[in-house]
A and B are shown apart, each in its own frame.
Chain A
Amino acid sequence: QVKLKESGGGVVQPGTSLRLSCAVSGLRMTRSSMQWIRQAPGKGPEWVALMWYAGGNRWYADSVRGRFIISRDDDKNILYLQMNSLRVDDTATYYCAKVYGSGWYADFWGEGTQVTVPS
């Protein structure tokens, strides 16, 4: 049974950094690609970043490229999102999700962790 649990959210000032974690159980990230998806209040989801299961290839949305870094700890089975130079428009609930299929679908989701960057 796949379970994903995000943590690390909070209220942070613009320009600062935050690291989100996603504890993964029921699968090994060396066999399953993983991604982060965020959702601002009252808005639709926005894809953020994806890490391929093999070789460590990573892809980012234009809005976060150069500021956010997706990584993982294979021994602990934890997915991370290092967020630097945070902006007001980064305010959202951040979900980690398992990648399924060639279309990069999200078939398993965590409950999300809230990140707030006040103006």
Chain B
Amino acid sequence: QSALTQPRSVSGSPGQSVTISCTGTNSDVGAYNYVSWYQQHPGKAPKLIIFDVNKRPSGVPDRFSGSKSANTASLTISGLQPDDEGDYYCCSYAGSSVLFGIGTRVTVL
């Protein structure tokens, strides 16, 4: 099982929106509506920000939204803020296992 494919980096100015794609296969992303997204700041553990494709845990701002079409999931960050800078990883249940993406570095210009 290979890691899910994400762009290495995306960037945007404060207040703008950025979208990160996550491409898998019909054995993972395409097979289940169990896609999640994690945010990671340097030296910290990842933090769950989206689960079940488009649901947000308590405390996560609604600026973060998720979607999915076929084998590709997406995370959109609206109203980009300086604290949004960091690494973002998609993740998919893959039938008795879990696959993570390679990660996308979000830079706030």
Contacts and interface: CB of A to CB of B under 8 A. Distances in A.
A59 B97 contact: yes
Interface stretch (B44-52, B64-72, B75-83): B44-52
Contacts of B45: 95, 109-112
Contacts, number: 60
Contacts of A46: 100
A105 B103 contact: no
Contact of A109 (B46, B93, B101): B46
Contacts of A100: 48, 51
B100 A45 contact: yes
Interface string B80-108: 00000000010111001111111100000
A21 B32 CA distance: 32
A95 B36 CA distance: 18
A44 B3 contact: yes
Nearest to A93: B45
A101 B97 contact: no
A21 B93 CA distance: 25
Given A47-B99, A111-B45, A103 B89 contact: no
- With most chain A CB atoms within 10 A of its CB, the pick from B45, B99, B103 is B45
B34 A103 contact: yes
Interface string B36-57: 1010000001111001100001
A50 B47 CA distance: 18
Interface of B: 1, 3, 32, 34-36, 38, 45-48, 51-52, 57, 89, 91-93, 96-103
Given A103-B93, A109-B47, 20 more contacts: A43-B103, A44-B3, A44-B89, A44-B103, A46-B100, A47-B99, A50-B98, A61-B97, A95-B45, A100-B48, A100-B51, A101-B52, A102-B93, A103-B51, A103-B52, A104-B34, A104-B98, A105-B51, A109-B46, A112-B45
